[in-house]
Structure 1
Amino acid sequence: MDVWKSIPSWFKLDNYDHCANYSSLDWANELIMRCGSNIAGGELSELDKQIVEHIKNNGLSIRGKSYCYSEELKKLYEDNPSTYKKTRFAVTNLSQITAYSFFLDANNKEKIEHDFSLLDLSTCTKERWRIRSPYTHPIANLNYNHENAAYLEINLHASNEQLLMEFKDWLLETRGDTQDIVKRQFSKADFEDWHTSRVFAYWDLTTIAASENATIPLLMLGRALFPDEFDVELAARIQKVTKKKSKTLFSPEVVNALMAQAESEKTQWNNS
């Protein structure tokens, strides 16, 4: 493996200044553009080559002639008229299409139709309960997986306190108490921290170097990312701070949480 003797001339730290003003949507798009590529994974596709060229010329996707927004994010920039206007993103009422899909996609669709036809005809309470009983189990127990969504039945006669208490218990039981779960909204302080830590510039340099079967000495990398800092151990900062934050930022959990936050903020903007 080769070692870069100098930072390439195409790298310009100023190209990354604009992310100081990024929203959650902008951060998510930059991450998806990079995560969706195979820059460090072997032979580059034509799209990978376009992404590398754009990074070299512009750094951020929003600079210059924009490379393109991911399909997942295009819809957030476009106004998509709908017959039902959502007021929230992460917590919404169950849609008809989702409710129907549980039935239409069920492996035992014919049996469900048969049993419910008997249920309509039966007048015997005991018989009706016998027919209903197999269908009283939560859908989650049948291993349905609808795009990382879960569906609840909420008893609105219960107090707010009880509902919130039980939802908290359900959330812990369903998602688990793991370090992988993003437990709070990302704030401007997070965005500023990522910007000042130079996570995108770090990822771009190290990933493009890896695609060329090369590495970058940590001190050289530190001087390129933090040219105005002289009172810190730059190599240690790259190893212990920037590299660690970059790994966290590019994790699927953070990318997905940023996407959800961007969707939520878009919904709020549309309703303001």
Structure 2
Amino acid sequence: MTQDYRHKLTRADLKWFSVEPYEAARGLTAREWAEQLNLRKLMFVLAEPPMREALDVAGMVVELLRAPLRKTDNALLSLPRRGPTVSDLTIDQVYNMRYALDGLPVLEQCIAYEKEREGDDLSVPNLPWQKYRSVIGQSFDDYVRENEIFHAGTQVNVDLNASDSEILADFKDWLAQKRRAAGSMAAKRRTDNKDFESWVKNRVLPYIDLLLLSQATGRPLTHSLAGELLFWDEDVDATEKVRKTVRPLAMQLLDSQFIAAIERQPDGVEGKS
């Protein structure tokens, strides 16, 4: 698949897409759901640049969209894929961060900001380039969420001159806010057939795979396109359904703690509300 970092995904790009193969998910057990979600978590990691180009991850995702419920390699999925939850960025991670803005409108504003800033007297207030600060000075996480872009992971600034207690208190507040914004949560009760039916009915798994395609190609997926693809056969406001119901469910299902909880859950055990 040709990479195009300047355009959103369109209906024409996905004219072959169908939700029908995902109907078989109605028969998945809790452990099988965990396997499918772990596979997608792994593929989101592979879909980060520059790995996505080297491995043709976009091609892998297209195959997944066509046959979404293939058997997974349990040995591969059980391998530890993460180091410490807190660590320094490596040089290659910093280098690869330059891809994060590819295809986003804000990239042009960053470039214009730099060009207009060159040669200006920074001591003079209200210079033309300062109009960009309200946009490019905002949180990157907030920007991608508000613009319907999936982004796995984040980067933070830590003031090591502050005391341990200050840093820990601020990090606790920051993490709580991010968890709320992302809908990140562990399962607070056992999942059961009602949950599985809800995930299938709301077509959460195909939505996750469309997000994967967006990540692998660098082309944003809008709520409106996702709604058109997922709920073409329903008389609903599909865009709002994606925004208010499907995306929050998808973010919950992609949460590592949530997946671990349902993975540990014995199959055939009904959950308690």
Residue 219 (structure 1) aligned to one of 215, 220, 224: 224
Opposite residue 265 of structure 1, the aligned amino acid is D
Partner of 1:96: none
Opposite residue 267 of structure 2, the aligned amino acid is E
Q: Deviations over 1:73-128 (max 9, x none)?
A: 69xxxxxxxxxxxxxxxxxxxxxxxxxxxxxxxxxxxxxxxxxxxxxxxxxxxxxx
1:53 Cα offset (Å)? 4.6
The answer to whether the aligner puts 1:265 opposite 2:272 as a matched pair is no
Partner of 2:67: 58
Say what the alpha-carbon RMSD is for the aligned residues: 2.8
Partner of 1:102: none
Seq. identity, % = 20
The answer to whether the aligner puts 1:229 opposite 2:234 as a matched pair is yes
Does the Cα contact within 8 Å between 2:65 and 2:206 map onto a contact in 1?
Answer: no
Residue 255 (structure 1) aligned to one of 251, 255, 259: 259
Task: Give the TM-score of the pair, scaled to structure 1.
Answer: 0.51
Opposite residue 215 of structure 2, the aligned amino acid is A
Task: Give the TM-score of the pair, scaled to structure 2.
Answer: 0.51
Partner of 2:84: none
CA 1:31–1:227: 2 relative to 1, 3 Å: same
Any unmatched runs of 5+ in structure 1? 75-177
CA 1:23–1:207: 2 relative to 1, 3 Å: same
Alignment of 1:38-187 (within 5 A): 38-43=45-50, 44=52, 46=55, 48=57, 51-62=60-71, 68-71=73-76, 180-187=185-192
CA 1:52–1:235: 2 relative to 1, 3 Å: same
Residue 23 (structure 2) aligned to one of 10, 17, 20: 17
Does the Cα contact within 8 Å between 2:185 and 2:252 map onto a contact in 1?
Answer: no
Rg larger in structure: 1
Does the Cα contact within 8 Å between 1:219 and 1:234 map onto a contact in 2?
Answer: yes
Aligned residues: 157
CA 1:227–1:53: 2 relative to 1, 3 Å: closer
Does the Cα contact within 8 Å between 2:214 and 2:220 map onto a contact in 1?
Answer: yes
Any unmatched runs of 5+ in structure 2? 1-5, 80-179
Does the Cα contact within 8 Å between 1:39 and 1:207 map onto a contact in 2?
Answer: no
CA distance in 1, matches of 2:21, 2:68: 5
